Chains A and B, each alone.
Chain A
Amino acid sequence: MLSIFDLLMDYVQTGRLELDPRLHPETTTFHDSCHYGRKSLQAFGHGYFEEGRWLVRQCCPNYVEMYPNREGNYCCGGGGGLWSVPFHEERVFHGRFKARQIRNCGARRVVTACHNCRDQMEKSLRKEYDLDVEVVYLWELLARSLAAPGRRSSGGSR
């Protein structure tokens, strides 16, 4: 089994993906998803905290943190199935901390590695709390940062 972080780190570190850090100069932050972070740390002894940050920095040199972060990070509010159930008000209420964190860090872009987090922040919190940000998937950021889009890597080994 591989997590998306393991896979992407491997590609970038072995040179199989070439990224251009000039394409995304806007201030960018990384959202720690509860399950890749706290939950994974508890269940598997490793929380994916640093990998996402490292990958984002390869694309976005202008990187800022939200506080608290890593183990102490606030949930987007859409986890646990809440994105898919009709407790709309509670979901948005939970997300007030995340919205405040995003606003306070001043980023224009939030990167996350979870579908749930991305949908909650992009499709709900952005509107409910009037946030001027775009929310993108980690792999989306990489796809949009490729130095030579469309070309297949020849370097690196399996």
Chain B
Amino acid sequence: MIVVQIGRLAQQLGVHRNTIRNWIRSGKLPARGVPGKRYLISEEDFHKLCHAFGLDPESIAVRRIPMKADQESPPQEPSVPLTQLKPRTNLLRASPQWADVCLTCGSCASACPISAVDGLDPRKVVRMAVLGLENQLLESDWVWKCTLCGKCEEACPMNVEIVSLIRAVRGKQPRDRVPVSLQRGLQTCLETGNNLGIPQEDFVGVCLDLADELVEEGWNGFRVPLDVKGARVLVTVNSKEPFADPDDMKFLWKVLHAAGESWTLTTEHWEGLNWAYFTGDDQTMRALVARLVDQMARLECRTLLLPL
């Protein structure tokens, strides 16, 4: 038999003393109390316990005492299998601290401008994630109505990462639950290089037209730098501009020109929007960023102007 002291064993396993007391009380850990606040555990139960915690039983210093019972009666199977001691896995529990650190104070819910929409608010979302109600979250539209604005986090006294949680829920929802416009835009971007599927020649055409207009407006000598190798700054474009508000592109161009900047646009993968951020899809997000990095390498640009 193994002689254990609760405090010592708790330290060795990395759990709280009361946890071990509870196991003993509930019968999960068969043990017999002996004088001196010590307990006797069978060799086999001790091994199971160590395995459940991924520890080598030989590496744990304990006192063993030979007993007749050890040889005579076969060790009893514990009534509840010890595998239940494994830490609980929870799809949405990004940090094991959450359960403990959230005070349920509701500051986040008070700060959030869309609290109560669909009967939800950030505190409920945090509690649902902690309590394992992830299926309800994975079926909710609410996470798409949140603007990821971070007002809730700013109000949280415990620094719970509420926005990351909400984005994680978005990312774990099946892709056919992602609002169609976002998912379609992302797909188009992967296929064509921009969210709206503007063909390369159209993009170049819009740029050249705008440059002509600038010259007509008195910006003498203005030329739109397309694929200029070795330019200092690579500038991306938000696809809604060439598509719907091309004139708005001229503002930034005027500033860059007036400052005498060495800059360029790329005619491939010029999209600055990365909607994978919104859909919670990290893999695609990375792939789109990699495209910009590739364009910088292709054009030998050292600096990227963070997409606007």
Contact = CB atoms under 8 A, between A and B. Distances in A.
B251 to A, nearest CB: 4
Interface in B92-148: 113-114, 117, 141, 144-148
Contact of A81 (B153, B240, B259, B278): B278
A40 B303 CA distance: 19
Interface residues of A, number: 51
A139 B153 contact: no
Contact of B148 (A2, A80, A113, A154): A80
A70 to B, nearest CB: 10
Interface stretch (B28-36, B51-59, B217-225): B217-225
A7 B257 CA distance: 13
B259 A11 contact: yes
A143 B145 contact: no
Contact of A39 (B117, B144, B150, B182): B150
Interface in A141-158: 142-144, 146, 149-154, 156, 158
B258 A151 contact: yes
Contacts of A72: 154
B114 A93 contact: yes
A77 interface: yes
Interface in A78-95: 78-82, 84-87, 90, 93-94
A66 interface: no
A42 B167 CA distance: 15
A125 to B, nearest CB: 13
B150 A85 contact: no
6 contacts: A3-B305, A81-B179, A84-B278, A114-B308, A139-B251, A142-B251
Interface of A: 1-4, 7-8, 11, 16-17, 34, 38-39, 42, 71-72, 74-75, 77-82, 84-87, 90, 93-94, 96-97, 113-115, 119, 137, 139-140, 142-144, 146, 149-154, 156, 158
